[in-house]
Structure 1
């Protein structure tokens, strides 16, 4: 009788990855083997409070019962048809997502980067067919310190040299201006501008929140200039900031929304370009597509995500618990925290460099039983599942205080 294979330890599994996985990530040294709600467990059985939530892909926590049920139910029926045929889940998903976001039409894709690439293509097509920009002259204005993904076109307009170096030649057609600077944006927009593409809150840059009035200013400027406002809500959207969309904090309705991450409930990759009929209506059969985009499993899970958001519960939780997060971080200013930016359950926390880098603080937090991740320098990002309790949140803040104390 063959003995059962021995379960490898965390250290052994990390070591085993080195020769066979491309080194495009530098994860914290924790090997997760199970999760539920706001908690994850490693292969040795140690539990950790998740304060990152998959960069907002897990807004509803790990294995939310309603989402798991929707996935199981669909797995027993149909998972993929390609878009060569219709499926019975896609119409309902598109109808409800359009209604949730106040838009007309949905272009379903898979990953966030695919949504951004699709948004770029739609904006260019619209510029040529509707605005009348001469062929191949369309430009898109973006913000410095952006993060929209890592495809070759997207890194072409990144200002992060780590993301760009070694990946040229770069795609032309983009103008980069400082974030949160309406004057610079206005100076960059001209008759060739197809769209202004920005994050309502810059996540990877450290949860950078623009001044009040900036998003409304972008909306008005693009309206006057006759170009599109494309808002990348892949991280900031779907409840994270205390609203369904971050642009709602200023009552702004963009022409195009880019959604992803939480739209798949942490189960399957689901993204979407959502916009007005005047914009998305420029696409015709054969001009854009995706084999897996809009597949019935993704549509079933995505519909269940929309159902959760339709109640408003998660938006309220993010707003109410966001106040607790902000109060707790305020108390840590001067105790190792030199500043922070927070909206809803999302914060970028700047740590005194004398205490440690963001990576070092994240490793100390891990030893305290809390998982978070650094972004740039001595900044760490906090984005717990919206299902976190007040007690869990206060416990995480206590762990952060201990990590800052060394």
Structure 2
């Protein structure tokens, strides 16, 4: 006998209002936050309640131009109508199936990513929920590489300044001591070498190395692109000794630099690439792409897994995001507006250096006031980030307009002065 759950006597409208949590001022919400959530992020800067495109509003009704995009996540901005409609339709059809089954959206997204990244025959995709999970999968992939000799390799090379995530394997790859020290001992075998130094790379890469992990542009270190020719040198060195070259494009991929992958211009094929952040347009999803049949067979059945990774809703969100990026010429916009923004920043007093590609931008200031700039920016209606005492990072939605960029350029001198006055 089939049974159904009785509908609640509360109307759908009342139930939805209850689930959406109601209203309150920013200070009221922050008081509730501090009494209910772990303090690992410190005190949130604002309580955001609504977004549209590149704009967001807080609980007190103040409007902000979002120049951080959820840390390079909201590729199409907030509440994109097409992505929202696809997610809603998928949720109304099939939400979750576990890894005992698959779905059309999971298969279609894997095929799409292999096509967009020019992966050769025999390449594969493993879906995760985040960038750190994608890098964790890549870490395990590296542990399986013997370089063809059959002898186990445990040495992995990463760079000083690297950030690959906060789970234990990804944290071992991350260089920042403040992140690492509280959780040591971390998985052994990771060696950090100087950033961008080809000679140091040559000295480090030998037949004992399982993999080299690289970010084409280090985001958390202040948006530092690898020097020209470094990726090609890394490919030649790793290929020579049978080590994997694994590129972390969690922050730089999916159009962030005006290209699908920041590494495209290097003219190389890595052994694996990790993606996340912008892939789902705001919905959590990550991916590990392995190139060619040999690398793609390193992880056998049962050696890795995930309950939620690649679920129908996440993969539908990613398919919708990729479709919108292609159909709305978003890559060209990111390249053009990013170039305009970098050029404008380089002309501003108090800005000493501007780095980046597309809409991943870091710029340095002439004083240690970056955290104060973040606060002054919020007061002026702009969301930015400070990865260092003199560095500001911008990673806005890829649909940012030139006019919106110009509002920030016009406001920044006053923001910087307010930050200096507050010190």
TM-score by structure 1 length?
A: 0.93
- Report which stretch shifted further, 216-225 or 303-312: 303-312
Task: Report what 2:389 is aligned to.
Answer: 377
Task: Report what 2:202 is aligned to.
Answer: 186
Distance, in Å, in 2 between the alignment partners of 1:189 and 1:119 is 18
Secondary structure of the 1:367 match is: helix
Task: Report what 2:8 is aligned to.
Answer: none
1:336 pairs with one of 345, 350, 361: 350
Cα offsets for 1:190-241 (capped at 9, x unmatched): 1121111010000000000122111222122222222111000000111111
Once the two structures are TM-superposed, the CA of residue 6 in structure 1 deviates from its matched residue by 7.6
Cα offsets for 1:44-65 (capped at 9, x unmatched): 2111000000111111111212
Whether contact under 8 Å (1:200, 1:246) holds in the other structure is: yes
2:289 pairs with one of 257, 260, 274: 274
Once the two structures are TM-superposed, the CA of residue 28 in structure 1 deviates from its matched residue by 5.2
TM-score by structure 2 length?
A: 0.90
Distance, in Å, in 1 between the alignment partners of 2:244 and 2:340 is 36
Q: Where do residues 107-186 of structure 1 align in structure 2 (5 Å cutoff)?
A: 107-125=126-144, 127-128=145-146, 131-135=148-152, 137-186=153-202
Does 1:345 find its partner at 2:364? no
Cα offsets for 1:288-315 (capped at 9, x unmatched): 1101111111111111122234448121
Distance, in Å, in 1 between the alignment partners of 2:328 and 2:362 is 25
Which runs of 5 or more structure 2 residues have no equivalent in the other structure? 1-17, 419-423
Does 1:210 find its partner at 2:226? yes
Secondary structure of the 1:77 match is: coil
Residues 366 and 344 (structure 1 numbering): CA distance in 2 closer, same or farther, change over 3 Å? same
Task: Report what 1:359 is aligned to.
Answer: 371
RMSD: 1.7
Distance, in Å, in 2 between the alignment partners of 1:101 and 1:157 is 24
Does 1:254 find its partner at 2:270? yes
1:305 pairs with one of 321, 328, 331: 321
1:392 pairs with one of 386, 404, 407: 404
Task: Report what 2:9 is aligned to.
Answer: none
Cα offsets for 1:334-384 (capped at 9, x unmatched): x2222221211111111222xx52110010011111011111112111111
Whether contact under 8 Å (1:370, 1:399) holds in the other structure is: no
Whether contact under 8 Å (2:30, 2:44) holds in the other structure is: no
Secondary structure of the 1:327 match is: helix
Once the two structures are TM-superposed, the CA of residue 250 in structure 1 deviates from its matched residue by 2.1
Task: Report what 1:227 is aligned to.
Answer: 243
Whether contact under 8 Å (2:139, 2:170) holds in the other structure is: no
Q: Where do residues 235-250 of structure 1 align in structure 2 (5 Å cutoff)?
A: 235-250=251-266
Which runs of 5 or more structure 1 residues have no equivalent in the other structure? none
Once the two structures are TM-superposed, the CA of residue 401 in structure 1 deviates from its matched residue by 1.9
Distance, in Å, in 2 between the alignment partners of 1:55 and 1:20 is 24
Whether contact under 8 Å (1:97, 1:303) holds in the other structure is: no
Structure 1 outlier segments of 4+, above 6 Å: none
Whether contact under 8 Å (2:165, 2:174) holds in the other structure is: no
Matched length = 395
